[in-house]
Amino acid sequence: MEVVAVVPARGGSKGIPRKNLAVLGGHTLTALAVRCARRAGIERVLVSTDDREIAAAGQAAGGEVPALRPAALSGDGARSVDAVLHVLGAAGAQPDAVAVLQPTSPFRRAADLREAVALLAARPEADAVISVTRLEEPHPEKAKRIDGGWLRPYLPGAASERPRQELPAAWRLNGVLYLVRRAEIAERHTLVPTAALPLVLPAERSLNIDQPLDLLLAELLLERGLASLEAG
């Protein structure tokens, strides 16, 4: 199964200005994503960006930038799937599957990507493998909404007073990895198909860097040896 990796890394960011060039462990977040894909054995790693400095960082790490992303696909409301389709088209790439690796998940491992590829190759009935981590708090059953001034369950019939330990396990998409068959992306315009298999990852590898506090937490995890980078 041929797999191409796409690293979506636009230049704009409100939480952390120019977030995808933030440095962790001596490497930019963009470079970490590219190098992870290369370590996993992915031959083509396409960086989708509108920013020349990010493009240079991606290329230095072993990625390709076939074309800069247009402004229409680079705003706050832009969808990742559109950026993926654009960079695939610019590169003339038609792989069997696409691995989307967001730079904001620096603790992903090459082994995670290899495991996802092996799983998708072994399950032809599946359209994707998507990474998840267990959702501890707040559990979906505990969520509320305000309706006409009254506090109501967000989920009808939710058992919000049951102890968390008695509630069924819940999982959240952690953004670390989306491995999707290209046909699903091209024909259904989605990175989250219905027939998706989970790749369960621990919380320490599921950190998403979106705000300055997230970056500080990532640095602390590295300092304490609770997480590691695959930067080679």
Locate all alpha helices (DSSP H) within the chain, ordered by sequence: 29-39, 52-60, 80-91, 110-122, 182-188, 212-223
**Domains of the chain and CATH, by start:** 3-135+170-223 (3.90.550.10), 136-169 (no CATH)
What is the rounded CA–CA span in Å between residue 46 and residue 66? Answer: 7
- Global pTM? 0.91
DSSP 93-151: ---SEEEE--TT-TT--HHHHHHHHHHHHH-TT--EEEEEEE--SS-GGG-EEEETTEE
pLDDT band at 231 (very low <50, low <70, confident <90, very high): low
Is the pLDDT at 128 greater than 90? The verdict is yes
Here the tokens at position 214 are: 């997230």
Kindly report the average pLDDT of the chain as a whole number: 93
Is the pLDDT at 184 greater than 60? The verdict is yes
pLDDT tens column, 36-45: 999 999 999 9
